[in-house]
Structure 1
Amino acid sequence: MKNNKKQIKEILNQLYTTNSDFDSMTLSYVSKFYPQIFSDENFYENVELDEKIKEAQEVFNFISNKNIELMIELNNLLDKEDQNIEVLKLEEKMKEIQVKKFITVKDFEKIYNISSSSQKGLRGRLNDPIPYHQKVQGGKIVYVVEEVEKWFENQYK
């Protein structure tokens, strides 16, 4: 049993490090191939490049979210004193946000690791846009967590 605990802790640490590296690589990829999203100066729209970046970002986000879920599951297999503190913080952050009924664009970004500009694209889709609520045109956008979860489930079927 002690050997299993050690293996779980090693795998968990590797997965946490890999996920952090993956997030850095994602940012590097996006900034390399789409630098204009980091600057308002000389911004131009390249629809083909924009679509490729959005598709890549969706894949990156899916993998990152799955990694976080796996880290939490592995961490929960360990005794409290053996659990990884960083993963416990991640789990707490996820729980805190998930108990909310409504989330803002910023909350959405934290939970799902999807930038506000990518969210805008998902909301503007002609086919199967992400559900959102906005009382006044140009006003604050909120998402109903339950609706978003159902929408994500349907995206990967």
Structure 2
Amino acid sequence: MNYHEETQDLFDSAPDYAFAHCIAADAGMGAGIALTFRRYYPEMPGAVLNAEPAIGDAIRYVGPDDRVIYNLITKGESAQLPERSDFEAALRTLKEALIAHQEKKLAIPLIGAGIDRLDWRESAPFIQELFADTDIEIMVCRLK
């Protein structure tokens, strides 16, 4: 596993990186970086809902630009805050999906640390430990 943090806009990542971000099972995507995803991929919330998401899922979506995006279902409703256990369950599902699809590059924001208020100082070590036994490159994108 190759984990590194960069100061750059997530959406400036090379096209061979899959993205992942946290959303609710209701696929509201009305705030935070999820709103930016919704603006780039307006059909994605409907596709997520069609997949009948449950907490702990990582719903894979391929955009019209062929970008792979994983929607990590960390809570039931957009207005809620996630439980750390649900966030971690979604990350475990993400790992399985990346391996199954042979995707080797992942770009993420500080997932869970924005409006979901999870502590990045706990999330970053969890991600590093979870993916330590893989050959997946994880690039964390921090805005300036």
TM-score tier after normalising by the smaller chain length: under 0.3
| TM-score when normalising by structure 1 | 0.26
Between the two structures, name the one with larger relative contact order (CA 8 Å, sep ≥ 6). Answer: 2
- Select the structure that is richer in strand: 2
- Select the structure that is richer in helix: 1
Largest Rg, 1 or 2? 1
